[in-house]
Chains A and B, each alone.
Chain A
């Protein structure tokens, strides 16, 4: 996963429309997520960021359009192929979504024991490594209910990284964290990206995080129902001429 060229897109989205039944939430989305980049899907609450994410991670079939992982079209692939593609990406859910009947280490180890042929001792050591990477060394045998909400999120990150995926998706990673924890999570994500070389896709509206770590971003607008800006968020903040974009990125100060 470290040998691939930088310019190649990890994920390409073509003409994607998502929604529920007749209700289209976002339409005609076209964007590429570069391999090894940190890509942010941003937008105000209720604009459909999470719905777009659900289409990218294979939980919600899009109304139209394609999601390509490399050359493979996720939604046109047969189910076995989809499951194989799912092993190439990890997802961190908003509240952690840890399996509450398993310890923290078992949560991280489950994808490994289901999808690899590694023995239990190796899986345990890999889980310990992943937990150490998110600053949770020593918490392996706790149950999710026994640790704080912020720690649950970190375990969620460790679990998303379990299979050393090429792409990791994060749904609102810093929601509900205090500023310091949020900052620490950002630093962890940057270090993990540099270390593992994976692509990271974040859905968030936390501007501090966005400016701190994003390489590239799209801004979704609830009224337009599609992408209204694409590019590096710091540059968009300085140079965009679109009032909606400036208003979002400057907290309404434009």
Chain B
């Protein structure tokens, strides 16, 4: 590799009685262009050639590239039953060939099938989905048990951890929650005005925005933001801890990771997600008001009166109950996927992806379920 412009690699053969002498010349290196092997070497014929030996006097430089060439030639000769002499190869080449020939310390079983047929893949995915739903429920149950222990004051739980996580998932999420909520309010009001304007009912834009935000959108948007922002962070953090055996270290130190790691995250999210939702409600209504006041020329007081008439505390309560449920979903899916993580960087990435997907899927499922429940109960 020291040669900047290696002499071109050449390959000649000369007969020696019934044997064939292979004469490589020039530089056989990674940077070189290797010559094609003559037919006699491509498919050695034991009827014509009884043995092969080497003459490396013209070989000026070599590296693994040459060793690979010799190994392949040896493999072809062995298959054809032609003997091959290593004696005249450079000593280093002989040493490497011996090392490569040495039996591996343990034979390789076949690696677990990485290539999968379509049907098999579909089947595995279905099994994985059913199993993942079961795991989510089991994990939620275990978290509930840990919460019970906390209420009885038996849990190993550090309040300062929870406060730090609350700051992380709550206060520091305010900017993105503000942005998204204002935009959602703007969009709702604008789309609403297009329809309501046809009936001259522009001022009902305020009702539309208030009800949509209070009952559905504020909680849903905050939940999805949290799934992407916090659920992913939980999964990556716990996943890295799993990969580094930190979770195992907690277990062997008789500190249940469920109480020490999961519980503070779960409580922090269950407390902060409804609070963020209250804030998102306000921001959404402000966003709607921007459209109402500037685009539709509704008086500020009228907008306020319309809004107050449209929603009562019960509407906000339905949204906040959903928000608390989303908090459980996001925390549980993030922590669960993190704790299930394998022991590699790729596994941490997969755990993070899975946490966000699980979180969002179950938020949507939960939202639909609760909406039906509210409908039935007439709330």
Contact = CB atoms under 8 A, between A and B. Distances in A.
Interface of A: 1-4, 88, 99-101, 103, 112, 116, 118, 122, 125-126, 129-130, 132-133, 135-139, 141-146, 161, 163-166, 184, 188, 191-192, 194-197
Given A2-B62, A137-B104, A164-B1, A194 B92 contact: yes
Interface string B180-217: 00000000000000000000000000000000000000
B114 A141 contact: yes
24 contacts: A99-B345, A101-B345, A116-B31, A125-B71, A126-B65, A126-B68, A129-B71, A129-B100, A132-B99, A132-B104, A133-B100, A138-B108, A139-B104, A139-B108, A141-B114, A143-B111, A145-B342, A146-B112, A161-B64, A163-B30, A166-B2, A194-B92, A195-B99, A196-B63
A100 B105 contact: no
A166 B30 contact: no
Nearest to B350: A101
A191 B95 contact: yes
Contact of A145 (B31, B107, B344, B349): B344
Interface string B47-64: 000000000000011111
Contact of A3 (B61, B71, B95, B108): B61
A139 B2 CA distance: 31
Given A132-B101, A146-B111, 5 more contacts: A2-B61, A100-B346, A133-B96, A142-B111, A196-B96
Nearest to A163: B30
A49 B117 CA distance: 50
B67 A100 contact: no
B131 interface: no
Contacts of A195: 92-93, 95-96, 99
B96 A125 contact: no
A231 to B, nearest CB: 27
Interface in B264-310: none
A86 B47 CA distance: 50
Contacts of A122: 65, 68
Nearest to B110: A141
Interface in B97-121: 98-102, 104-105, 107-108, 111-112, 114
A87 B350 CA distance: 32
Contacts of B112: 146
Interface of B: 1-2, 29-31, 60-65, 67-68, 71-72, 90-93, 95-96, 98-102, 104-105, 107-108, 111-112, 114, 342-347, 349
Contacts of B104: 132, 135-139
Contact of B2 (A1, A126, A145): A1
What 6 A-B pairs have minimum CB-CB distances, sorted nearest first?
A: A100-B344, A138-B108, A195-B96, A132-B100, A101-B346, A164-B63
A156 to B, nearest CB: 14
Contacts of B344: 100-101, 143-145
A163 B342 CA distance: 31
B95 A141 contact: no
A142 B60 CA distance: 37
Contact of A141 (B65, B111, B349): B111
Contacts of A138: 104, 107-108
Contacts of B349: 101
Given A2-B61, A135-B104, A142-B108, A165 B2 contact: no
Nearest to B115: A141
B62 to A, nearest CB: 7
B363 to A, nearest CB: 29
Q: Which of A99, A136, A166, A196 has the most CB of B within 10 A?
A: A196
A81 B71 CA distance: 34
Contacts of B72: 125
Q: Which of B2, B104, B347 has the most CB of A within 10 A?
A: B104
A129 B111 contact: no
Contact of A112 (B30, B71, B93, B114): B30
A191 B67 CA distance: 15
Given A116-B30, A146-B112, A125 B61 contact: no
B111 A191 contact: no
A100 B345 contact: yes
B67 A129 contact: yes
A145 B347 CA distance: 10
B100 A1 contact: no
B30 to A, nearest CB: 5
B1 A88 contact: yes
Contacts of A125: 68, 71-72
B174 to A, nearest CB: 35
B95 A126 contact: no
B214 to A, nearest CB: 45
Contacts of B93: 195
A189 to B, nearest CB: 11
Given A129-B100, A166-B2, A145 B111 contact: no
A122 B30 CA distance: 10
Contacts of B343: 145
